[in-house]
Amino acid sequence: MNLDKNKVVVGMSGGVDSSVAACILKKQGYNVIGVTMQVWPDIEEEYENSGGCCGLSAVDDARRVADQLQIPFYVMNFKDIFEKKVIQYFINDYKRGRTPNPCIACNKFIKFDELLRRANQLGAYYVATGHYAKIIYDIETHQYRIKKSKAAGKDQTYALYHFTQEQLAHTLMPLGDFETKDDVRKIASEMGFINAYKPDSQEICFVKNNDYGNFIEKNEPEAIEPGDFVDTAGRILGRHRGIVHYTIGQRKGLEIALGKRSYVTEIRPESNQVVLGENEDVFGIELMAEDVNFLYSQDFNKSIHVKAQIRYNAVASDAIVYPLEKNCIKVVFKNPQRAITPGQAVVFYQDDLLLGGGTITSKVR
């Protein structure tokens, strides 16, 4: 297939970041095509009215920006793959007692995999997004690398550890050199974009009001099975509403009175139990992870010192990564970490360079 290196498909969510990304690439001389990925189910009006990247209002905003930029714009149907790779994964992980990160799954399977295939079908060599991250080419190693965005408070590299070298070679992220979100909004305002001051989405795009328990109950009511709260010694403390309503470190919304502050320290899907303990019980210094991906061809068959981050807004901390069999690792932190949560990602850095990451399976006792 002959691909045009001057042609780029920009995933336009209707937000200001992807709009400015499209604007920048056009000014740089690229032949830009705007695409919004339709992922919402036909029967769900709540998605259609959503203000996030799944709603029809997002399509309208993206189309208006594309019209202003005078670039082609398409809405592409991604509903089936989104249902399978993101929504069903999200539900299944909660049923397993995990706390999934659907944005990472969306990036991995939708934006930088399926969208890239669709872009190639249009003859485009590149896909581009409004992520705050930098993709660079290392001429010494002949490999692509991902570095943290200059806008430290907006950096999104945590959700990008899954990239392959082939995908990196065909991806552009033009916002990586911006130092603040205000700088991006300023460009949008100067261009007269309707979404210049559109608020950032703070919720999971397909979960209304961020009520994931209700979402799972609506889609798979059999997944909601009440069970026992137990303490760390296994003594029954009361009844819970179903393990999908809880996550590690949770204190609020437990709906149980124990005369003291209690925290979720473990979720046991095999016995349908939620373990409650003290705040100190939430901390851990070691974890196990699976489905590990390193972005670069290096010798990761031995332990390496890294900065490891265990959730999107967490601070990366000193740790050592030990390789295990079957694409698994053990991570040992220098200092205890709060709420090591199965289902979340653990991501590794050296300085501002993203090395890779994996999915947390357990906190080592």
Binding residues for ATP: 11-18, 37, 130
Q: Is 328 a catalytic residue?
A: no
**Cβ atoms 49, 5 nearer than 8 A:** no
- Provide CB contacts within 8 A for 188, sequence distance 6+: 16, 19, 20, 23, 195, 196
Candidates 53, 54, 205, 328; catalytic one: 205
Distance of alpha carbon 308 from alpha carbon 315, whole angstroms: 8
Distance of alpha carbon 339 from alpha carbon 346, whole angstroms: 12
Q: Give the residue from 99, 52, 53 showing the smallest Cα distance to 246.
A: 99
217: left (phi over 0), alpha (psi -120 to 50) or beta: alpha
Rg (CA), the chain: 22
Q: Is 205 a catalytic residue?
A: yes
Candidates 23, 53, 54, 106; catalytic one: 106
Residues of each annotated binding site: 11-18, 37, 130
Q: Give the residue from 3, 4, 2 showing the smallest Cα distance to 30.
A: 4
Element (H, E) at 92: helix 88-95
Q: Which residues are catalytic?
A: 106, 205
